Amino acid sequence: MLVLTRKVEESVLIGDNIEVKVLQVKGSGKHASVRLGIVAPEGIRVLRREVLIETTEENRRAARSIAPELSDVEPAQGAISPGKAGPERRN
Amino acid sequence: MHMVRTSRFGEVRYDPGRVIKFERGILGFESTNQYILLNCKACDQFKWLQSIEDPTLAFLLYNPSTDFPDYWPPVNSKDLEELDLRGLESAIVMCIATVPGDPSFATANFQAPLVINVASRLGKQVVTGLPSYKTRQAIFHTALEMKTG
C-alpha cells in the first residue's frame, strides 16, 4: 500500500482525472476523522467500503430466504418485458 | 432445452439461450455467473433468479416499480457499458429480497439493485452508494402482505 502524508487542503491525484483532497481533520487518536473531497469522472463510482460489505452480507442472508408462498414458479417465457419489470423511463 | 435439478423448485427446464450472465457475479457469490429467471405464479412483482451452476443458489427478486414508483437507482456510464446498454429503457431493474421465517419482516435491497439487459442477457448488481437507499427496505406492507396472509 502506498502511504502519503497530506495536510488539510492538500490533494493526491490518482491517474489523470481523480483527485482526493483532505478538507478537514477532526479529533485525534482512534476517534479522529478525516473529511475528504473527491473529484472523479462520472463513470467512477465512489463508495464507502461498508456499503459493499453490507450488500455482500445482505446477499448471503437473501440466499437463505425461504418463501414457500412464492415458490411455485415457471420459466420466464418470451421476452422479458422491461416495461413491466423495470422503472418507467424518465427524462 | 437444458435442465437443472434445483434444491427449491425441483427439475427446471430452460433454454440455454435465455441464460443471464453476471460477469462479476453477485456480491458474495462472485464465482457464480450464470442464472435463469423464473416467474412466481402467485405474484408478478416477484421473480426468482436461479443459478444454473449452483442448484442450491437462488435469489428472490422484487420489482419495486409498482409500490415504489419513485425508486430510480443511478446507473453510470461504466455500468451501462458493462451491460452493453445505452439507457435503462431496455433493462429491468429488480432488488434482491430477503424473506426471513416471518414474511412480515421481508425486505429488499434498494441500495444495490440488479440491472439486467433484456436483449444481451447481461446482468450486474449495481451498488448505488446513496445513503437514502436502504439495504433493508421493508416491503411487507406492499406486496407480501396480500400474498402470504
Establish whether this prediction's ipTM goes over 0.90.
Answer: yes
Q: Is A65's CB within 8 Å of B41's CB?
A: no
* CB nearest to A69's CB, from B48, B64, B147: B147
The neighbour count for residue B33, using CB atoms within 10 Å, is 18
Residues 39-78 of A with CB under 8 A from B: 42-48, 51-52, 54-63, 65-67, 69-77
Residue pair B91/A86 in contact (Cβ under 8 Å)? The answer is yes
User: Which residues from A are below 8 Å from B87, CB to CB?
Assistant: 89
The neighbour count for residue B126, using CB atoms within 10 Å, is 21
Angstrom distance (rounded) from CA B24 to CA B125: 8
Q: Indicate yes or no: pTM above 0.90.
A: no
Closest among B8, B59, B6, B10 to B37, alpha carbons compared:
B59
The residue length of chain A stands at 91
User: Which residues from A are below 8 Å from B1, CB to CB?
Assistant: none
Mutation choice for A interface testing from B68, B81, B85, B88 by most A CBs within 10 A: B88
For residue B68, give the amino acid letter: F
Q: Is A46's CB within 8 Å of B59's CB?
A: no
Query: A30 — contact with chain B (CB < 8 Å)?
Result: no
* E strand or H helix that includes residue B148: helix B145-148
Query: B101 — contact with chain A (CB < 8 Å)?
Result: yes
| pLDDT attached to residue A75 | 80
As given in the structure block, the three cell numbers for residue B22 are 453476471
Angstrom distance (rounded) from CA B82 to CA B118: 14
Angstrom distance (rounded) from CA A19 to CA A2: 16
As given in the structure block, the three cell numbers for residue B38 are 423464473
Q: Is A56 exposed, middle or buried (0-12, 13-18, 19+ CB in 10 A)?
A: middle
Q: Identify which of A53-62, A74-83, B65-74, B78-87 has the greatest average pLDDT.
A: A53-62
Is pLDDT larger for residue B148 or for residue A9? A9
Q: Is B131 exposed, middle or buried (0-12, 13-18, 19+ CB in 10 A)?
A: exposed
Closest among B144, B148, B134, B112 to B28, alpha carbons compared:
B112
The neighbour count for residue A14, using CB atoms within 10 Å, is 13
pLDDT in tens, B104-140: 899 999 999 999 998 999 999 999 999 999 999 999 6
The answer to whether residue B6 scores a pLDDT higher than 60 is yes
Hey, what's the torsion of the CAs at B108, B109, B110, B116, to 10 degrees?
A: -100
The one-digit pLDDT tens for each residue of chain A (91 residues) are: 999 999 999 999 999 999 999 999 999 999 999 999 999 999 999 999 999 999 999 999 999 988 888 888 888 765 555 544 444 444 3
pLDDT in tens, B39-62: 998 888 999 999 999 999 999 999
Angstrom distance (rounded) from CA B76 to CA B81: 9
